[in-house]
Structure 1
Amino acid sequence: MRTLHVVTHPEATHHVERVVGGQHDSALTEAGVRAAVRVARALRDRIPEEAEVELYSSDLRRCRRTAEEVAAALGTRPVWDRRLREKSYGEAEGRPQEWLDRRFVPPPPVGERMDHDEGIAGAETKAAFARRVHAAMDDILRGPAGHQVVVTHGGSLTWVVAAWIKLPLAAAGHVSFRAAPGSITTLHEDDYFHNRQVLALGQLPQHGLA
């Protein structure tokens, strides 16, 4: 039996400054830090004290700060994994969001979407993004702990869940799982059928992000 608790980092400076996040190394805002504390407390309430817990996190500052709160609450140490980072937007990262919006080429409604070129130099394709998160998840799910916590980004969440349910990348061109910043997605595998369930998607701790 295994439960995976996937945390999307709370509000970061790129949200309020309206610049492109991606792998731009933004920090949590003050509100984001308070939300990270709530996430950590919520996980402490959900995970039994005696349970073995493994904690994995993107190495970008906004996730590191979130993971540090979780680690303190759960009495564990994070493993930093750059493969859990947000999608790279190449030369757009850190620029105003409207700069990206003017240049962005959306994927077609049909046809090839995973290797689509969005028109931004240095940006990852959807396929490259998915492959690296899936590779991280392959390693994470080899861990023995009954409770695992993954701290990541809103875009990366889609590929964490897709990897969990073993969705083939060839069939993932249209998939998207959305969750608010500072939320917890709960994934569970039973020890009889070994079915993998999505128990809760993007659940906010009490009082949200205030």
Structure 2
Amino acid sequence: MRTLHVVTHPEATHHVEGVVGGWHDSRLTSVGVRAAASIARALRARIPDGTEVELYSSDLRRTRETAGPVAEVFGVEPVLDRRLREKSYGEAEGMPQEWLDRRFVPPPAVGERMDHDEGVRGAETKEVWARRVYAAMDEILRSPCEHQIIVTHGGSLTCVVASWIRMPIQSAGYAAFRAPSGSITTLREDDFFHNRQVVTLGDTRHLSPGTSA
């Protein structure tokens, strides 16, 4: 039985400052720091003692700071992987959200949805974004480890789940698996049928009031 515990980082400074995240290297707020500790405790309660655990994280500061308490409770070093980053928003990163909102071009309802930069210079297309997360997932899943923890971003969670259920890249253009900040999504593959389940999506029961964003 393989279980993936996919964490979306909790509240970060770009959330409260109202600026675009993406690759903007924001850090956790004090609320986010408390939530990261709650995430670590929740994962420790879910994963049996003595079980081998691997920890993977986006290399941006807010995800590294989320992975830190998790690494401490399990006694492991996180593997930092830039492919687990959020979608890059190019010139919009760190700009006021309303600046992006004025320029944002949504993808078409039908037709080509993956080769689309949303009207922002230097932004990743959804295809580039999805392919790098899929590649990271392929590498993670080559390990036979029973419990793997992945710390990523709210947007990239969609690509993680789509990859897990082997959704073709082009179909992922329509996918949206939404999860709150600081949530834990549980993915499981059984040893007999090798079916891949989405057991929970965006669970925040471990967060106390005031630690979710």
TM-score scaled by length of structure 2 = 0.97
Letter in 1 for 2:170: A
Shift of 1:117: 3.2
1-side partners of 2:10 and 2:18: how far apart? 15
Other-structure match for 2:21: 21
Shift of 1:173: 1.5
How high is the sequence identity, in percent, across the aligned residues? Answer: 71
Other-structure match for 2:61: 61
- Where in structure 1 do 4 or more consecutive aligned residues deviate above 4 Å? none
2-side partners of 1:149 and 1:203: how far apart? 15
Other-structure match for 2:165: 165
My pick for the range that moved more, 153-162 or 114-123, is 114-123
- Partner secondary structure for residue 172 of structure 1: helix
Name structure 1 gaps, 5 residues minimum.
none
2-side partners of 1:21 and 1:81: how far apart? 18
Matches within 5 A, 1:79-158: 79-158=79-158
Letter in 2 for 1:197: Q
2-side partners of 1:106 and 1:183: how far apart? 26
2-side partners of 1:108 and 1:34: how far apart? 40
Does the aligned pair in 2 maintain the 1:114–1:127 contact within 8 Å?
yes
Matched residue count: 210
Deviation string 1:5-46 (CA, Å, 9 cap, x unpaired) is: 000000000000000000000000000000000000000000
Shift of 1:125: 0.4
Does the aligned pair in 1 maintain the 2:21–2:93 contact within 8 Å?
yes
Letter in 2 for 1:184: I
- Partner secondary structure for residue 170 of structure 2: helix
Letter in 2 for 1:40: A
Note the aligned Cα RMSD (angstroms): 0.8
Matches within 5 A, 1:193-204: 193-204=193-204
Shift of 1:172: 1.6
Other-structure match for 1:207: 208
2-side partners of 1:182 and 1:52: how far apart? 23
Name structure 2 gaps, 5 residues minimum.
none
1-side partners of 2:43 and 2:183: how far apart? 11
- Partner secondary structure for residue 180 of structure 1: coil
Letter in 2 for 1:36: A
- Partner secondary structure for residue 173 of structure 1: helix
1-side partners of 2:143 and 2:190: how far apart? 16
Does the aligned pair in 2 maintain the 1:35–1:208 contact within 8 Å?
no
Deviation string 1:119-175 (CA, Å, 9 cap, x unpaired) is: 110000000000000000000001121000000000000000011000001222210
1-side partners of 2:209 and 2:111: how far apart? 39
* Pair 206,122 (structure 1): closer, same or farther in 2 beyond 3 Å: closer
